[in-house]
Chains A and B, each alone.
Chain A
C-alpha cells in the first residue's frame, strides 16, 4: 500500500457550494419567513463561502417555500467575490431571475427517466431540450449556468442507475454550455464503491475540474463519498449549513450533508476552503433556532474543546 498516495491525490483548495438556503430550506416542512432567509444568506455571505445558492425560480405552485424568490434576491446583501446562483427550470424562470438581479443560474437534469418524469413531468431528453432555451438566453445575457444531475448513484424509483447514463446526461449539459456539473446522490444511497465507479465514467466525458459532488447523508455515507471524490480530483463540493433539508424519499431521514462537517474534514486534511467554521456554525445555529429544530451537523452538536 502506497503511504504517500493518499496525501498526494488531494486538491489544495476546495470550493464549497452552499445550498442550504435553496436545497436545504426547500426540503424543510416549515415555511420560512423571507427576512429569515435573507438574514441566513447574509450570515453565510460573511463566513467565507464563495458560492451561496440563494433561491429557486420555480412556480410557487410547485415549491411554496421558494415563492418569495424575488424579494429574497433583491433583499440580500451581496458580498463582493461571492456568487449567488438561483435555480431556473425553464425560460420563464430564467427571465424572472435575471429581472430580479440574478447573475448566475442553475438547471437540473436527472440520470433516471422515471425520476425525471415524476419530478418535472417530462423525459430526460425533453428536459434537456427545455434547458436549451435557457442556455441560449443565458449565453446572450452573459450569465453562467451550472448544471445538476440528480440520482447519480441511485433512484428512488428505478433503483440502480448506470454510470454511463450519468455520463451521458453530464456530457449533454456540459456540451450545452454549463460551466460546472454537480453530480447529486439524491437519495444518499451511494458508497465509495459506487461513487468512484460513477466518477470514472463521467470524468471520461467531462473534465474533472468542471465536476462537483452533491452528496446526501441519508445513509451516513456522504463524507466518505466526498473523500473518494477528492481523491479522484474533484475540488467542488455542495453542502448545506446545519445539514438542512430532509429526504422526501426516506421519512425522518437526513438529506444534505452538513457544511460544518465537510469543512471540518477538509481543514483537517489541510485543504483550504476560505471558510470560517465558527461563523458558519453561527449561521447554522441561527437557522436552527428559527426553524425550531436541531442541527444535523455533528460538528455543531459536539462541544468538545480541542
Chain B
C-alpha cells in the first residue's frame, strides 16, 4: 500500500519489482489530490500494472476494515518544513508542505500506519534530517516497532533518510539482528530487491543489509 502516491512512480515501481498481482499480492494507493490519482492511474496503465486507487486523506475510509492487514506500506510524505497554513491545501503544494519541522502530515500518518500494518508488516518512510528521524524512531519504539535507516542520501538541497519500521516484540534484545521472523515470499523479495537497486548507487549511499 502506498499513502500519497503522487505521480504513481513509487507504487508502479513497487509493483514492477514484486511482479504485480502475479504473485498473489494486492496493491492499494491513496492520495488526497484528485489530479495525483488521475496521473497515478495513467502511470500504472503505461506500465501494465494495476493497483486499486482511492482519493482520500491518508487512509480515511479504509482504516477500520483494513486494520492489521497491510504487509508493506510505503510513504513518501510531504516532509518539507513550511508554515502550518500551507499544509493540506488544494493544489500541488500539498505534495511537499509539512508544517513545523515538516512533521504535520508524518505525525498524522504514523498512527494510521500502526493501525493498518499486519503483525509482520513493514513500513518504509522517507524523511528529512529536519523531521528529526531519531525522534520518530523513538516514538515508534514506544509502540513496539524496531527501526533502521536503510538508505541515506544527500543532495545539494536535502538530506534524506528512508526509515524501515517493523513490529518487534524484543526490540531491546534484537536491535542489531534486524528481522528474524520474516516469512519467505513477498517480504523477502522486497528486501532483496532493495539491496539490488542500482539507481541508489553512489559513494555516499549507506545501505544496511536486512
Do A and B assemble together? no
Listed in ascending order, the chain B residues whose CB lies under 8 Å from chain A are none
